[in-house]
Amino acid sequence: MGIWKPSATVAAVVERDGRFLFVEERVEGRLVLNQPAGHLDPGESLVAACRREVLEETAHRFEPTALVGIYRWHYAPRDVTFLRFCFRGRVEGVEERPLDREIVALHWLSPDELLERRAQHRSPLVQRCVEDYRAGRSFPLEIFSSDYA
């Protein structure tokens, strides 16, 4: 039996005037909606990974201010388990830069619009993270360690 190695990812709930920022990306031949999100790189803190992923996927400079939640999701077709660390925070500007090549478009969606597009969600975590954010879930970044930044 092999060693179980979950895939650590980060995601950001970015809200502006009641609308949420999503990336539309091509994954396994289909277009899906997701929060700006991606994998944790070796030696990188979770907060730094979140900053980097939001910038690479949306060109927005995002500063995480709190953790919304930690989620586990098993993607059966590839037998991969993801551990997602979802953050909330603030946008501190937008840069003029190319986006990751998988990104097709950016969308600011209301909660109702997101729900209407549920069939396009990359995973069930897309909706869950927004719901938890809207419910006020917020944990201080200091829960990670003294070197969380």
| Amino acid 149: pLDDT | 53
pLDDT in tens, the chain (149 residues): 578 889 999 999 999 999 999 999 998 889 999 999 999 999 999 999 999 999 999 999 999 999 999 999 999 988 999 999 999 999 999 999 999 999 999 999 999 999 999 999 999 999 999 999 999 999 999 998 765 55
pLDDT of residue 2: 74
pLDDT of residue 146: 61
At residue 119, the pLDDT reads 96
- pLDDT at position 59, please? 98
pLDDT of residue 3: 83
pTM score, two decimals? 0.93
Query: 63 to each of 48, 92, 93, 120, 149, how far by Cα in Å?
Result: 9, 7, 10, 27, 10
Whole-angstrom distance, CA of residue 57 vs CA of residue 72: 22
CATH of domain 7-141: 3.90.79.10
